[in-house]
Amino acid sequence: MKIFPALAATVFAVAIWQLIVSITDLPRFILPGPLLVAETWWTNLAVIAEHTLVTAQEVLIGLAIGTALGIVTALHLATSKTARMLVQPILVFTQALPVFALAPILTLWLGYGLWSKVAMAVLIIYFPVTSAFFDGLMRTPSGYLDLAKTMQASPFRVLWLIRVPAALPSLGAGVRLAAVYAPIGAVIGEWVGASKGLGYLMLLANGRAKTDLMFAAMLTLGVLSVFLYLMVAKLTRLLGDRES
């Protein structure tokens, strides 16, 4: 991501936002201006930081577990025809279910704490990671497989030395997508039942008509997501470049 164009676009969007607020003269609980939001953000920095840390923790743990589960599932599907026949239809079916609807149940099962939010994040990112990596594993260039066959390779070593490395870029794409989805999962979990986190803070601010604080929390979440995305993108690129 180039810094300058991104910055210019942000300044432009904020300017339009301020312009709308100035022209329409809307009450601050309907649409607070960017200056007010910035001010609120600054005066509530300690509170926002505390809740951000909670959400960030949920997201990172969720991302780690979801990615690990996705990798294991994809490897299983790619190496076993039986697994493909049994698991793939179920996997697709579960994607048709709205995961959001599960949030209250997850809270019931796992409590108000960290783990119901982690579970939500995991549920949301599991499929994109699995599907991206699995696709990569099934699309090994056939020439490599021909070569491996003439070399009397063992299936496990073909997987480890050829199919997995060839699928790493696909996995990277899946994990980058997951980095964007995971915060959404965590926040949904917080909406349903929590006493901490940015999602909780948003709900709280909304209930008290503190729309400026709601905006401040929401924008913080956005920044967190972008930051996470950039970190993951950097990490996956490093992995893709590694010596085999």
Interface residues with another protein (CB under 8 A) are 143-144, 146-154, 157-158, 161-162, 165-166, 168, 240, 242-244
CA torsion 219-222-226-229 (nearest 10°) is 160
Nearer to another protein, 77 or 162 (CB): 162
The least distance separating another protein from the CB of residue 139, rounded to whole angstroms, comes to 15
The Cα 113–Cα 115 span in angstroms is 6
The Cα 117–Cα 182 span in angstroms is 10
Nearer to another protein, 153 or 180 (CB): 153
Nearer to another protein, 8 or 147 (CB): 147
Which residue is associated with the tokens 């006493």?
A: 195
The least distance separating another protein from the CB of residue 237, rounded to whole angstroms, comes to 13
Going by C-alpha positions, the residue among 7, 32, 37 that lies closest to residue 20 is: 32
The least distance separating another protein from the CB of residue 133, rounded to whole angstroms, comes to 16
Which two three-digit tokens encode residue 167? 């699928």
Which residue is associated with the tokens 């073909």?
A: 158
The Cα 202–Cα 159 span in angstroms is 46
Cβ atoms of 120 and 185 within 8 Å: the answer is: yes
The Cα 17–Cα 10 span in angstroms is 11
Nearer to another protein, 78 or 114 (CB): 78
Nearer to another protein, 13 or 239 (CB): 239
